[in-house]
Structure 1
Amino acid sequence: MSTHRPLVVVGDTLLDEDIEGVSTRLAPDAPAPVVDVTADRRRPGGAGLAAELATHGGREVVLVTALGDDPASEAVRGSLLGRVRLVELPLRGSLPVKTRVLASGRPLVRIDRGGGAPGKPDGAVREALAEAHAVLVADYGRHTAGAVREHLAAAARRLPLVWDPHPRGDVPVPGARIVTPNAAEACALSPGDGQSLRAYAERGTDLAERWKAAAVAVTLGEGGVLLTRPGAGTPMLVPAPYRADGDPCGAGDCFAAATAAALADGALPEEAVQRAVAEAAAFVAAGGAGNPALWQISPPSPAQEAPETDPFALADRVRARGGTVVATGGCFDLLHAGHVGLLESARRIGDCLIVCVNSDESVTRLKGPGRPLNPVPDRIRVLAGLGSVDAVAVFEEDTPAALLHRLRPDVWVKGGDYSVDELPEAEALRAWGGQAVVLPYLDGRSTTLLARRAARAAVVPVRPPAP
């Protein structure tokens, strides 16, 4: 990740307000619920929320948006102070305010007020986009993107640009790296029959061709994300890593922000979408945009690991919502079919899977000189790229017992012909009531066998072609 060139978010900022309470009776003069208010929270929404989410991991973020002199605009400025750098367009009118009334966490009604049109950009907008490392357009149909369209078109020709569209918004500029409509937006923007994966794939391909985008990622809520490209290629479906029971408000902003951040880090579109799906699931599970902690804590510093990938934070979040934490461990030096089958089976046991990996020194002690074949950063990246793996933790010792005492998983998984009582980790798990289990392992698959097979192939003489 670049520490000198920021991620620039361009789009329509709103002020979101949640009026929370409980409802136990109807009004005497109408069949309408009476809500006894317990909390009233206000926060930036739209592009403002996307910009805040993009700062996670210590990233510098610039927000290009239209703000005015009204109280809602001042509230947004105050909330974003010290979090993102604002580059403002003048706003003719007032900032839109979206108010949700919730009873026991369930929305009853939404009230929309205000609205205006952005004015012309100045040189500061051009300078912000010129120094960008990547760009995210958060389009909420208020035409901020349209006001700076010329600058966005130029940016798309030289750096990753992600466009989160709106049916009443502006058409994405040609050359966008990924456009991220949700299912309803895809249906509105590309009408067609049905809501099957095939139908959404056809819509995504149609939109990618019409917009001249490199890819379109249609978000399907709990169904994951369907990544499509122009032409008749096969789409890629990225399922959600687990069912996230929480407020989905803001999940689309989280997905788009995480996608743009991953592309800024050099990820391929497929890698960016996988990372963004995992981050969006964790965001929803933590309470979505309504999570008070989102705005009560300072943005993490660059030295901190993103909370979505930190194994200990992940385990705490899953336990907090009553889920089951599953862990497994090993060297994972050359990932093969046996590993993949084991990890997929382990993930299905609970609500997250954390893989404990031996450090390079630990592998050498266990396997001997010449091992590992792949250093631990490479092994971590390969494991983290699997859809079945939610987080990876490294341990230096010969066994992961000390690490397990910190993670405290509910289930510890090993593959092969072990007896549960023979596992060195079994005693550690008993300290907090965890359970060790053994899963079947594919016969004939092992890193040692693969290495020997590769060594034999390397010394086989090549016969010259027959005359």
Structure 2
Amino acid sequence: MSFGDLSAVRQAVVAGFGARRLLVVGDLMLDRYLWGEVQRISPEAPVPVLRLRRETEVAGGAANVARNLAALGLSVELAGVTGQDAAGERLRQRLGEAGIGTSAVLSTSERGTSTKTRAIGNHQQMLRIDCEEDLPLPGLLEEALFASIRPQLAQRDGLLLSDYAKGVLSGNLCQRLIQAARACGCPVWVDPKGRDFSRYQGATLITPNRLELAQALGLGNDAPLPALLDGAERLRQSLGLTALVVTLGEHGMALINAQGQQPFPALAREVFDVSGAGDTAIAVLAAALAAGLAGADAVALANLGAGVVVGRLGTAQLDSADLLAALDDTSAVSPMAKILTLPALLERLQQWRAQGERIVFTNGCFDLLHAGHVSYLEQARRYGQRLIVGLNTDASVRALKGPQRPLMPEADRARVLAALAAVDAVVLFAEATPLELIRAIRPELLVKGADYRPEQVVGADEVQRYGGQLVLIPLLPERSSSALIAALESISQASLITDH
């Protein structure tokens, strides 16, 4: 995944997004989980028997959005309605434990607290039981909720409306909140529901999913993506939005603004549970925008965060450490982000080693990358968690191999290496040998091809002296850049003879 300014994104995450102050309004829920094992089918009916091992409860719905924001380091106030019941009390307790303000959370005897109970057997969701009401709030209760929210708007850096269509965010309340927020200069971000998006008129940004967008546009559920995105631009203009971000499931996200359409492909991750992924996406997006990140970088970060939580079971919470780990997972960032200067590499090494990861180092010219190179690098990567490739600059290649080499310039060679999944970082060196680079990196494992003898490997003594290990890897037979070049020259000469 590509970021326009990866350094600024990392800095924002590390700084807790500047501890910006956000207000979240929406439908509050308590998510309950029954965890157990399934080993047999019931003799009473053809259904699995869940042997219950434990029960957990977390804040859900708009409260889960607030929970994610608080975990990312923001100051969060939550507004909504709970019932005067045990579930409502437990939800307030969970919110208090997360450090979320609840002065605008009202309780009422006129409706119960929305509760979703999920049965999880052998790491798979088997059943969900919903206990909820989706009727609009009575007029007096809605007025009381607005009165509790309005004084806080001027003190907040953003308003986030999390609409689960359970009756709290009526069209009237949405419009009053949006107008009051914009009058205070407070941006409004909306996670919408329903077919009628006119209630979000004047918001800064909305984040429908593909189905929600299709319904709002009056299109079928199988509408092609180009038609959806074109319709999204018309919707953005008609609602007076600065931007619209549509979440596309396995296809990632797309940003639609005045500059056009920008896709953000999904990350290749195994999906265990999509519960709360939308909450995480809007939370990360709002946090990033509140911290002043560019819109495209904010969407890319939200896409990254959503990719993390779908790999977990339950209504997952994302924190800054999760985001940083994902940012540092070089399979999740653009290949260009793997090409580093030595100072930038040393900074990244600190993060990797703090996570207990073993560093593997190898080096070479890698002119005309071929299957032998790929096999060699894949084997090298298996000896640790991170593989760093030291790459000779053009000048050092010429000094080693003569004035006709390299055939590919250093920028191209670095780019091709960085595209390999086995490679975590590429760093250029201009010296005749990588010895100084090895001394700076201090890899746990130094790798070279088995065509070298141990005493011939530059840096081997250095690495073994501090407890590292030298590994010599067998090479694929009859695979070499020199052989490729010789074959190309032979073809070229044969062509010249034929032409004459």
Give TM-score scaled by structure 2 length.
0.63
**How is 1:29-44 mapped onto 2 (pairs within 5 angstroms)?**
29-44=44-59
Partner of 1:88: 105
Rounded Cα–Cα distance in structure 1 between residues aligned with 2:386 and 2:415:
10
Shift of 1:242: 3.4
Q: Which amino acid aligns with 1:144?
A: V
- Alpha-carbon distance change, 76 to 237 in structure 1, aligned in 2, over 3 angstroms: same
Rounded Cα–Cα distance in structure 2 between residues aligned with 1:284 and 1:426:
43
Partner of 1:346: 418
- The answer to whether the Cα contact below 8 Å between 2:35 and 2:121 also exists between their aligned partners in 1 is yes
Partner of 2:230: 202
- Going by fraction, where is helix more abundant, 1 or 2? 2
Shift of 1:343: 5.3
Q: Which amino acid aligns with 1:110?
A: R
Partner of 1:224: 252
1:155 aligned onto 2:181:
yes
- The answer to whether the Cα contact below 8 Å between 2:20 and 2:290 also exists between their aligned partners in 1 is no
Shift of 1:99: 1.2
- The answer to whether the Cα contact below 8 Å between 1:101 and 1:108 also exists between their aligned partners in 2 is yes
1:102 aligned onto 2:120:
yes
- Alpha-carbon distance change, 398 to 271 in structure 1, aligned in 2, over 3 angstroms: farther
Shift of 1:330: 8.6
Partner of 2:365: none
1:192 aligned onto 2:219:
yes
Rounded Cα–Cα distance in structure 2 between residues aligned with 1:306 and 1:433:
31
- The answer to whether the Cα contact below 8 Å between 1:175 and 1:213 also exists between their aligned partners in 2 is yes
Rounded Cα–Cα distance in structure 2 between residues aligned with 1:425 and 1:277:
45
Partner of 2:373: none
Partner of 1:277: 303
Partner of 1:243, secondary structure, is: coil
Rounded Cα–Cα distance in structure 1 between residues aligned with 2:472 and 2:247:
36
Correspondent of 1:239 among 235, 252, 265: 265
Bigger Cα Rg: 2
Deviations 1:354-392 (A, max 9, x none): 55889xxxx9xx99xxxxxxxxxxxxxxxxxxxxxxxxx
Deviations 1:249-301 (A, max 9, x none): 1111000000000110112221210111112212233x15445xx59xxx779
Correspondent of 2:161 among 137, 141, 155: 137
Q: Which amino acid aligns with 2:39?
A: T
- Alpha-carbon distance change, 318 to 125 in structure 1, aligned in 2, over 3 angstroms: farther
Rounded Cα–Cα distance in structure 2 between residues aligned with 1:217 and 1:61:
23
Shift of 1:51: 0.4
Unaligned runs of 5+ in 1: 332-336, 368-396, 413-419, 441-467
Rounded Cα–Cα distance in structure 2 between residues aligned with 1:176 and 1:423:
60
- Alpha-carbon distance change, 434 to 317 in structure 1, aligned in 2, over 3 angstroms: farther
Aligned positions, number: 375
Give TM-score scaled by structure 1 length.
0.66
Rounded Cα–Cα distance in structure 2 between residues aligned with 1:317 and 1:277:
26
Correspondent of 2:64 among 49, 57, 63: 49
- Alpha-carbon distance change, 55 to 355 in structure 1, aligned in 2, over 3 angstroms: farther
- The answer to whether the Cα contact below 8 Å between 1:14 and 1:48 also exists between their aligned partners in 2 is yes
Percent identity between the two aligned chains: 25
Q: Which amino acid aligns with 2:131?
A: R
Correspondent of 2:149 among 117, 121, 125: 125
- The answer to whether the Cα contact below 8 Å between 1:156 and 1:174 also exists between their aligned partners in 2 is no
- Alpha-carbon distance change, 71 to 426 in structure 1, aligned in 2, over 3 angstroms: farther
- Alpha-carbon distance change, 282 to 405 in structure 1, aligned in 2, over 3 angstroms: farther
Rounded Cα–Cα distance in structure 1 between residues aligned with 2:269 and 2:356:
13
**How is 1:62-461 mapped onto 2 (pairs within 5 angstroms)?**
62-82=77-97, 83-86=99-102, 87-91=104-108, 92-115=110-133, 117-118=136-137, 119=141, 120=143, 121=145, 123-146=147-170, 147=173, 149-156=175-182, 158-167=185-194, 171-193=198-220, 194-229=222-257, 234-285=260-311, 287=312, 289-291=314-316, 294=317, 308-309=326-327, 312=351, 328=388, 342=414, 346-349=418-421, 399=437, 431=469
- Alpha-carbon distance change, 140 to 9 in structure 1, aligned in 2, over 3 angstroms: same
Deviations 1:187-214 (A, max 9, x none): 2322325343313313422432343222
Q: Which amino acid aligns with 2:187?
A: P
Shift of 1:42: 1.1
Shift of 1:113: 0.7
RMSD over aligned CA atoms reads: 4.4
